[in-house]
Chains A and B, each alone.
Chain A
Amino acid sequence: GQQLNQSPQSMFIQEGEDVSMNCTSSSIFNTWLWYKQDPGEGPVLLIALYKAGELTSNGRLTAQFGITRKDSFLNISASIPSDVGIYFCAGQPGGIQGAQKLVFGQGTRLTINP
């Protein structure tokens, strides 16, 4: 099936630094979603993108739906300790079967040194 390649797999940064992560695919996706998972909990939606080229912000978070529909990035500005967690990209593949599922990336584990 379709796959999403998410990078980096892990990040170790200082508090206050900006963060950038991305997802790429060889297939077209109709929707891109970015989730965050805190330890011991299920993923929670951060940002949803529905149109190629769309750039959306949610507080210190900014995400973009790539113009080719094959990639997306998430930026976090001025990181704070509560940003620690695992970030997942997810996409709805194109085609009839694609409407029935989300494909998830491998995740980016973010660690912040105070």
Chain B
Amino acid sequence: EAQVTQNPRYLITVTGKKLTVTCSQNMNHEYMSWYRQDPGLGLRQIYYSMNVEVTDKGDVPEGYKVSRKEKRNFPLILESPSPNQTSLYFCASSFGTGGNEQFFGPGTRLTVL
């Protein structure tokens, strides 16, 4: 089944404790992206990747890091999480560019205390 998977689905952590949210897709998509969803703000792009070893900042990259060492995986890293990073996070992927239909993962709800 074609899908985007994220882990964990739920995470509660404390300020300053490094964490990684994994994302994997099995559709051989070139483009992958991370978004955060906050009430009233819709989906805002954090980072994206056009292909392996090619990443760039989205609209809200502060406090986040990403890597794209393999085509299928695109982990999101929070080196020192803060409470304002409490949010619902989505990974997405698409063929070619980000302007094509993006397929979304199920989401990761993160709470930083």
Spell out A's residues near B (CB within 8 Å): 1, 4, 6, 9, 30-31, 33, 40-45, 48, 88, 90, 92, 98-102, 104-107
Q: Are A45 and B97 in contact (CB under 8 A)?
A: no
Q: Are B42 and A30 in contact (CB under 8 A)?
A: no
Which chain B residue lies CB-closest to A107?
B42
Q: Which residues of B contact A90 (CB under 8 A)?
A: 43, 102
Q: Which residues of B contact A101 (CB under 8 A)?
A: 33, 45, 48, 58, 98-99
Q: A1 to B48, alpha carbons, bound, how many Å?
A: 15
Q: Which residues of A contact B97 (CB under 8 A)?
A: 92, 99-100
Q: A80 to B103, alpha carbons, bound, how many Å?
A: 25
Q: Which of A41, A42, A98, A100 contacts B48 (CB 8 A)?
A: A100
Q: Which of B31, B43, B107 contacts A41 (CB 8 A)?
A: B107
Interface size of B by CB at 8 A reads 28
Q: Which residues of A contact B107 (CB under 8 A)?
A: 40-42
Spell out B's residues near A (CB within 8 Å): 4, 31, 33, 35, 40-45, 48, 50, 56, 58-59, 90, 92, 97-107
Q: Which residues of B contact A33 (CB under 8 A)?
A: 101
Q: Are A104 and B43 in contact (CB under 8 A)?
A: yes
The minimal Cβ–Cβ distance linking A101 to chain B, given in whole angstroms, is 5
Known: A42-B90, A43-B104. A105 touches B42 (CB 8 A): yes
